[in-house]
Every structure is written in structure tokens, then in C-alpha cells.
Amino acid sequence: MTENCIFCKIVRGEIPSRRVYEDDDLIVFHDIHPAAPVHLLMVPREHFANLDAAEPRHERLLGKMQLLAPRLAREQGATNGYRVVTNNGPDGGQEVYHLHVHVLGGPRPWKRL
Ligand code: AMP
Ligand code: ZN
């Protein structure tokens, strides 16, 4: 499962990314197809598909990402608001099945979302 996961490969450094933050739990990098002037992806180092697969032990990690979003949005220049989004499943528009949190911001209009 994790061998072919693109975000696991990015976590392992096998695929390049423009990282802006990392710690023991997660990495954050620029989305390759930005939908807004600032578009970051917060990706746990641990592979799990989405919120459906999240367990009680992930509570701290999920909260950490929510609390990190405003800081990274501001550092990247989204000073007038931002959006924090997790897509889940086909109708949720999820493309990569390794849980991640989008942080979108910067002056509108945005391309999508
Ligand atoms: P989602 O639709 O929520 O699964 O979002 C997946 C996101 O990953 C999309 O916004 C893609 O543009 C982004 N993405 C896919 N491959 C890469 C990559 N190699 N580096 C950075 N972002 C990527
Ligand atoms: Zn993965």
C-alpha cells in the first residue's frame, strides 16, 4: 500500500517536494497544482487513507495540523484569510488516498475549491 503511495514517497524523499515545514509527525509542502496563490499540503508521515481510516490515537495529530495551519498560512503570505480542507472519498473529491490537509489562501479569485 505505502510503496506506491505518492505522498509516502514524498515523505521518504523519493519524490521531490517544496517543503516549508516538517517535524516528527508530519511534513508540509507546496501543492504541485496550486488552486490558490498559497496552497500547502499538510501530510502525516504515517500512511492512513483519510478521516474514515483515522483512529482515536490520531486525535493529537489531527489537532496539531489544525493549529499549525494559521501559522504556515501567515508565513506563506496568506494574511487575509485562508481555507483548511480535507477531501474524503470519491464524492469528497479525494485523489490521493493518504490523509492530507489543504491550506489555501492569498488574494482571490482562486482557480477552484
Ligand atoms: P486531493 O484531491 O485532496 O486528494 O488532493 C491531492 C493533491 O495533491 C492535489 O491538489 C494535487 O495537486 C496534489 N499533488 C499530487 N501530486 C503531487 C506532488 N507530487 N507534489 C505536490 N502535490 C501533489
Ligand atoms: Zn501514503
Q: Which ligand is nearest to the Cα of residue 111, counting in written order?
A: 1
100 is catalytic: yes
- Report domain 6-105's class: alpha beta
For the chain, the domains span: 6-105
- The answer to pTM > 0.95 is yes
Nearest to 6 by CA among 86, 95, 91, 90: 95
Q: Is 91 in the pocket of ligand 1 (CB under 6 A)?
A: no
Q: Give 10's DSSP letter.
A: H
CA-to-CA distance for 24 and 83, rounded, in angstroms?
A: 24
Ligand 1: atom nearest CA of 96 is 4
pLDDT tens, residue by residue, 35-46: 999 999 999 999
Which ligand ends up closest to the CA of 100? Answer: 1
Task: Tell me the per-residue pLDDT of 5-51, one tens digit each, with 9 for 90 and over.
Answer: 999 999 999 999 999 999 999 999 999 999 999 999 999 999 999 99
